[in-house]
C-alpha cells in the first residue's frame, strides 16, 4: 500500500545530517547519498547539535558517528531523544563495533550502519526505510492525538483499547465517561482560549490519576473524555483530585463521571462506552451527584424505551393507541355541568399491557415520533367529536395536547386546520392544551405561533400552569384562553394546607379574564375549596377517571 | 599519484574499496591522501606515550573506521589489533604496533609523493 502523504514529497529531496569527525567518512557518505538527498555535514557533536536545533523541521534523518569530539555520539543521541521537539527525527548510528549497536538502539537509534560501510545500495535502503518509518509514525502520531489535549482521539482510542484487551484478556476493566458540567456556559463565560486551557488541564490531571500503564485516555469530543482502565474502586477519589486541581484554576467548574465497571468483554468496546455514557447521562440535571455507576436498572429502562420505539409503527398500524376522554365540569353553577373533555392517549401494548403516557410521551418527544402520535390522537379525537355530534345533542369541546416539540413545527396550524376540515367539525370544537414550559423555552417564537393559532380560531389552554417558570411580567402578554392548574400544584397545596398560593393562581386567571381549570381533583374537599376560590372548571377522579369513548358517551346523553 | 594496481600491490583491498565508492577510482585516489592529515595518528602515538589509554583508544577507533572504509589493509591490520587491546586496556607493549602503523602509513605516503 502506498502512503498518499509520502507522494507529496516525491519530487522533493529530504535533508540528511551527516555527523562524523572524519572527513573521509563524511565524504564517502555524501558521495553515496548526494543524488537522492540534500546533505548537511557536522564535524563534531556540538556542531551537529546546533544544526539539529536550527534545522529540526527540515532534517529527515541524522547519520551519527559515535566517537566525536566535544559531544560524543551517544550523548548527543540521548539528548535529542529526550527532547520532544527533536525526538521524532530518526537517527542511524555509524559504528565500528557490534557492542555499540545494542546500546545505540536502546538509546533510541532507529538503526545502525557498520564501518566499514556496506555498499551504497545497502546504505540507501536502510536510510530510506528509516525515513519512511519515521514519517509514517509521525503521520499516525499527528492523527491519533487530539491537538488540544495530546490524548488519543476517538478512533485511535478504540484501536488501542482493543489492542490492550487482546494482550490482557483476564484483566478486569472499567469504562468511564468524564464530562464537564455546563460546558456551553463556560464557553460563554471564559471564552474559547480559556476553555482550551481547561481541557488541557483536565487532560494533564487525568494522566496523573490514570497512569499510562493501566489506562488509555481519550479526548472524545468537546467536553467529553473517555477512560479505559484497570478496574478499581477509587474513581470517586480520583474524580475529586482532578476536580480539585481544576477548581484551583477555574473555580466553579464541575466534572461528572459515568462509570461502567468490570465491563463485560463479550460486549463490543463501543457499547461498553455507550453504557458508561448512559450512566453519565443519568447525572444530567442532577445537582447532587457527580458520579454514577451503570446498573441493570439503567439498562432495563433503556431496553424498555428501545422496545417502545421499535414497536411504535406496528402500534400505529394496529391501532394499539387508544384515546380516552376525561370530562371537565363547570362548577360555577349550583350543580356541576359537563363542559368539555380532555383527550388522553393510552397504549394497549400486546405484551406490556397498558402503558402510561408518562413513559412514552417524553421519549417520543425526544426522538420525533411524537409528530406521528399526535396526528393519530388528533385525528381520532376529531373523528370521535364528529361521531358524537351525529348522535347526541350535547356539544362539548374536547382538548388535545400539543407537545412542546410540536411548537417548532411551522406547519402546525395547517395540520390542525386539516384535521378539523377532514373530519367536518368546527375549530371551536377542538381546544389546544399547550404546556407552560413550552412558552418559556423560546418564548417569542412560541408566542407568535400560539398567537397565530388563536387568530385562526383555536381555543388555547395553558397546561400545567404553576409547574413552569412563567414570569408574572410575561403572563399578561401570553395569548391564552384558559389557565389549567398543574395537578401536582393542587395536590401539594392540599397536602400542605396552603391554600394561599392556590388562591393567588386563581386570582391570576381572574385578572387575565380567563377561566381557571383545575385537574387532578380527587376529593370532595378539594372540589368545594376550588369552587369557593372561584375556579371555573374541574377535571379529576372526583368526577370521573379518563374513559374509553363508548363509556364517556354517557355524559353526553 | 599511484595507480589502482599499485595500491593493490601495496596491499589495499581495492576491489572492496571501489565497490563501496561506486567504482569511482579518482574519488578513491582523492580520499587516500586525506588519511595522511588525520590527527588521530599523532594523537594515538602521543596518548600511548603518555599512557592515556582511553584517548589512545578513541584515536585508534576512529582510524579503524576510516582505514576500513578505504580498505588500506596494511595500516588497518595493526590498527584493529591495537584498538582491541586498548578497548580492554591490556597492559601490553603498544610501541611496536604504533611503529608498524606509522611505518605502513609512510609506505603508503611514499606512493603518493615519490613521483
ipTM of the complex: 0.92
The pLDDT value recorded for residue A11 is 54
pLDDT-based confidence at residue A1 (cuts at 50, 70, 90): very low
The pLDDT of residue A320 is above 50: yes
| Of the candidate ranges A41-50, A99-108, B70-79, the one whose mean pLDDT is the lowest | A99-108
DSSP state of A152: B
A positions 288-347 inside 8 Å of B (CB): none
The pLDDT value recorded for residue A239 is 95
Picking from B62, B70, B77 by the largest number of A CB atoms within 10 A of its own CB, the best residue to mutate is: B62
Query: Is A34 near chain B, with CB under 8 Å?
Result: no
- Counted residue by residue, chain A has a size of 557
Nearest to A175 by CA among A91, A245, A269: A269
Query: Is B71 near chain A, with CB under 8 Å?
Result: yes
The pLDDT value recorded for residue A69 is 83
A328 neighbors A340 (Cβ within 8 angstroms): yes
Q: Which residues of B touch A121 (CB under 8 A)?
A: none
A207 neighbors A166 (Cβ within 8 angstroms): no
Query: b or e along A88-123 (b: 16 or more beta carbons within 10 Å of the residue's beta carbon)?
Result: ebbbbbbbbeeebbeebeebebbbbbbbbbeebeeb
Domain with CATH 3.20.20.450 in chain A: 322-556
Question: Within 10 Å of residue A549's Cβ, how many Cβ atoms?
Answer: 18
Query: b or e along B89-108 (b: 16 or more beta carbons within 10 Å of the residue's beta carbon)?
Result: eeeeebeebbebbbebbeeb
Rg over alpha carbons for chain B, rounded to the nearest Å, is 14
pLDDT-based confidence at residue A8 (cuts at 50, 70, 90): very low
What CA–CA distance (Å, rounded) separates A94 from A104? 10
Pick the CATH number of A4-144 from 3.40.50.2000, 3.40.50.2300, 3.30.460.80, 3.90.25.10: 3.40.50.2300
Query: Is B39 near chain A, with CB under 8 Å?
Result: no
Chain B: give the shortest CA distance to residue A8, in Å: 30
Nearest to A407 by CA among A364, A441, A363: A441
pLDDT-based confidence at residue A517 (cuts at 50, 70, 90): very high
Query: b or e along B13-30 (b: 16 or more beta carbons within 10 Å of the residue's beta carbon)?
Result: bbebbbebbeeeeeebee
Domain with CATH 3.40.50.2300 in chain A: 4-144
Q: Taking the model in full, what pTM does it have?
A: 0.56
A433-453 tens-digit pLDDT: 988 877 766 667 888 888 999
Query: Is B68 near chain A, with CB under 8 Å?
Result: yes
Angle (CA) B3-B7-B11 rounded to 5° is 160
The pLDDT value recorded for residue A351 is 87
| B65/A94 Cβ within 8 A | yes
A40 neighbors A16 (Cβ within 8 angstroms): yes
The pLDDT of residue A5 is above 50: no
Backbone angles phi and psi of A471, in degrees to 5: -85, 150
Range A540-547, long-range pairs (CB < 8 A, 24+ positions): A540/A326, A543/A327, A543/A329, A543/A336, A544/A326, A544/A327, A545/A326, A546/A324, A546/A325, A546/A326, A546/A342, A546/A344, A546/A346, A547/A324, A547/A325, A547/A326
A350-367 tens-digit pLDDT: 888 888 888 898 889 888
The pLDDT of residue A97 is above 70: yes
Pick the CATH number of A322-556 from 3.40.50.740, 3.40.50.720, 3.90.25.10, 3.20.20.450: 3.20.20.450
CATH number at residue B16: 1.20.120
Number of domains in chain B: 1
Query: Is A117 near chain B, with CB under 8 Å?
Result: yes
Nearest to A195 by CA among A203, A186, A205: A186
Mean pLDDT, range A331-339, rounded to an integer: 91
Q: Which domain holds residue B24?
A: 4-113
Mean pLDDT, range A444-463, rounded to an integer: 89
Percent of chain B at pLDDT > 70 equals 98
Mean pLDDT, range A309-313, rounded to an integer: 93
The pLDDT value recorded for residue B24 is 94
The pLDDT value recorded for residue B20 is 94
The pLDDT of residue A371 is above 60: yes
Q: Dihedral sign for Cα A261, A262, A264, A270, please.
A: positive
Query: How distant is the alpha carbon of residue A552 from its chain centre?
Result: 44
Mean pLDDT, range A229-257, rounded to an integer: 93
Average pLDDT, chain A: 89
Domain with CATH 3.30.70.270 in chain A: 154-294
The pLDDT value recorded for residue B114 is 60
Query: Is A67 near chain B, with CB under 8 Å?
Result: yes
What CA–CA distance (Å, rounded) separates A379 from A398? 12
Count CA atoms closer than 13 A to A62's CA, side-chain side.
32
Provide CB contacts within 8 A for B28, sequence distance 6+.
Answer: B4, B14, B17, B18, B21, B70
Provide CB contacts within 8 A for A417, sequence distance 6+.
Answer: A427, A456
The pLDDT value recorded for residue A473 is 67
The pLDDT value recorded for residue A352 is 85
Chain B: give the shortest CA distance to residue A96, in Å: 6
* pLDDT top residue among B68 and A186: B68
pLDDT-based confidence at residue A2 (cuts at 50, 70, 90): very low
The pLDDT of residue A219 is above 80: yes
Count CA atoms closer than 13 A to B26's CA, side-chain side.
0
A535 neighbors A529 (Cβ within 8 angstroms): no
Picking from B38, B66, B68, B71 by the largest number of A CB atoms within 10 A of its own CB, the best residue to mutate is: B66
Q: Which CATH topology does A154-294 take? A: Alpha-Beta Plaits (3.30.70)
Amino acid at each position: 500500500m502506498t502512503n498518499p502523504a509520502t507522494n507529496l514529497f516525491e519530487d522533493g529531496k529530504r535533508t540528511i545530517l551527516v555527523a562524523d569527525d572524519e572527513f573521509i567518512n563524511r565524504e564517502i557518505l555524501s558521495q553515496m547519498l548526494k543524488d537522492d538527498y540534500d546533505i548537511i555535514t557536522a564535524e563534531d557533536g556540538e556542531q551537529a547539535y546546533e544544526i539539529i536545533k536550527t534545522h529540526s523541521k527540515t532534517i529527515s534523518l541524522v547519520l551519527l558517528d559515535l566517537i566525536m569530539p566535544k559531544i560524543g555520539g551517544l550523548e548527543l543521541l540521548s539528548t535529542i531523544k529526550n527532547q520532544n521537539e527533536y525526538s521524532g527525527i530518526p537517527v542511524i548510528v555509524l559504528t565500528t563495533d557490534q557492542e555499540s549497536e545494542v546500546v545505540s538502539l536502546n538509546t533510541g537509534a532507529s538503526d545502525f550502519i557498520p564501518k566499514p560501510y556496506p555498499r551504497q545500495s545497502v546504505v540507501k535502503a536502510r536510510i530510506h526505510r528509516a525515513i519512511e518509518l519515521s514519517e509514517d509514525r509521525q503521520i499516525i502520531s499527528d492523527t491519533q492525538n487530539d491537538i488540544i489535549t495530546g490524548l488519543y482521539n476517538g478512533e485511535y482510542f478504540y484501536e488501542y483499547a482493543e489492542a490492550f484487551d487482546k494482550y490482557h484478556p483476564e484483566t478486569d476493566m472499567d469504562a468511564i465517561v468524564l464530562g464537564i458540567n455546563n460546558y456551553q456556559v463556560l464557553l460563554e463565560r471564559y471564552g474559547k482560549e480559556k476553555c482550551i486551557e481547561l481541557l488541557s488541564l483536565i487532560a494533564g490531571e487525568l494522566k496523573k490519576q490514570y497512569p499510562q500503564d493501566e489506562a488509555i485516555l481519550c479526548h472524545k469530543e468537546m467536553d467529553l473524555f473517555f477512560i479505559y482502565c484497570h478496574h478499581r474502586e477509587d474513581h470517586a477519589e480520583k474524580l475529586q483530585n482532578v476536580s480539585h486541581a481544576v477548581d484551583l484554576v477555574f473555580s466553579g467548574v464541575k466534572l461528572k463521571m459515568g462509570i461502567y465497571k468490570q465491563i463485560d468483554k463479550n460486549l463490543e468496546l463501543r457499547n461498553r462506552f455507550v453504557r458508561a455514557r448512559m450512566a453519565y447521562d443519568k447525572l444530567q440535571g442532577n445537582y447532587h451527584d457527580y458520579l454514577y455507576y451503570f446498573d441493570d436498572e439503567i439498562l432495563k429502562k433503556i431496553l424498555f424505551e428501545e422496545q417502545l420505539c421499535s414497536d411504535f409503527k406496528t402500534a400505529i398500524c394496529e391501532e394499539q393507541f387508544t384515546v380516552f376522554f376525561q370530562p371537565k365540569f363547570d362548577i360555577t353553577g349550583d350543580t356541576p355541568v359537563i363542559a368539555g373533555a380532555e383527550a388522553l392517549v393510552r397504549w394497549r401494548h400486546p405484551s406490556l399491557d397498558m402503558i402510561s403516557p408518562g413513559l412514552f410521551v417524553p421519549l417520543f418527544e425526544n426522538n420525533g415520533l411524537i409528530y406521528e402520535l399526535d396526528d393519530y390522537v388528533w385525528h381520532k379525537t376529531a373523528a370521535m367529536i364528529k361521531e358524537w355530534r351525529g348522535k347526541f345533542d350535547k356539544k362539548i369541546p374536547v382538548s388535545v395536547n400539543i407537545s412542546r416539540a410540536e411548537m417548532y413545527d411551522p406547519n402546525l396550524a395547517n395540520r390542525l386546520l386539516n384535521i378539523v376540515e377532514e373530519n367536518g367539525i368546527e375549530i371551536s370544537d377542538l381546544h389546544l392544551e399547550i404546556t407552560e414550559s413550552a412558552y418559556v423555552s423560546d418564548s417569542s417564537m412560541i408566542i407568535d405561533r400560539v398567537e397565530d393559532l388563536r387568530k385562526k380560531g383555536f381555543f388555547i389552554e395553558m397546561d400545567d400552569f404553576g409547574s413552569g417558570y412563567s414570569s408574572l411580567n410575561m403572563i399578561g402578554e401570553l395569548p391564552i384562553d384558559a389557565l389549567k392548574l398543574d395537578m401536582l400544584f393542587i395536590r401539594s397545596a392540599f397536602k400542605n394546607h396552603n391554600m394561599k398560593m392556590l388562591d393567588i393562581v386563581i386570582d391570576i386567571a381572574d385578572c387575565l379574564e380567563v377561566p381557571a381549570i383545575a385537574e387532578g381533583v380527587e376529593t370532595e374537599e378539594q372540589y368545594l375549596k376550588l369552587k369557593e376560590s372561584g375556579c371555573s372548571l374541574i377535571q379529576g377522579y372526583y368526577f370521573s377517571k379518563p374513559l374509553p369513548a363508548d363509556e364517556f358517551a354517557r355524559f353526553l346523553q | 599519484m599511484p595507480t589502482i594496481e599499485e595500491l593493490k600491490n601495496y596491499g589495499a583491498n581495492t576491489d572492496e574499496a571501489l565497490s563501496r565508492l561506486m567504482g569511482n577510482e579518482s574519488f578513491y585516489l582523492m580520499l587516500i591522501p586525506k588519511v595522511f592529515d588525520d590527527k588521530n595518528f599523532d594523537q594515538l602515538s602521543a596518548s600511548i606515550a603518555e599512557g592515556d589509554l582511553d584517548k589512545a583508544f578513541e584515536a585508534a577507533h576512529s582510524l579503524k573506521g576510516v582505514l576500513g572504509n578505504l580498505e588500506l589493509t596494511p595500516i588497518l591490520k595493526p590498527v584493529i589489533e591495537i584498538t582491541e587491546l586498548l578497548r580492554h586496556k591490556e597492559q601490553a607493549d603498544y610501541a611496536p604496533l604504533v611503529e608498524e602503523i606509522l611505518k605502513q602509513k609512510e609506505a603508503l605516503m611514499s606512493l603518493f609523493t615519490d613521483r
